[in-house]
Amino acid sequence: MPKHIAIVDDSGAFCLLVKQLLEIDEEYVVEAFADADEFLKISSRIRSYDLIMLDINMPGTNGLSALGQLQASAHTKSVPVLLLSGDSRKSTVTEGVMLGAKDFLMKPIDPAQLIERVHAIVNRPS
**Residue 19 and residue 1 in contact, taking contact as beta carbons nearer than 8 Å:** no
pTM of model > 0.85: yes
pLDDT at 44 over 70: no
pLDDT tens per residue across span 63-84: 999 999 999 988 889 999 999 9
- Domain of 95: which CATH number? 3.40.50.2300
- Entry field: residues in the chain: 126
So what's the pLDDT on residue 89?
85
pLDDT at 106 over 90: yes
pLDDT at 43 over 90: no
Instruction: Respond yes or no on whether the N-terminal peptide bond of residue 2 is cis (omega within 30° of 0).
Output: no
What is the chain's mean pLDDT, rounded? 92
pLDDT tens per residue across span 6-18: 999 999 999 999 9
Residue 21 is part of which domain span? 3-122
Q: CA 105 to CA 103: how far, in whole Å?
A: 7
Domain count, the chain: 1
Phi and psi for 45 in degrees, rounded to 5?
-100, -10
**Residue 32 and residue 15 in contact, taking contact as beta carbons nearer than 8 Å:** yes
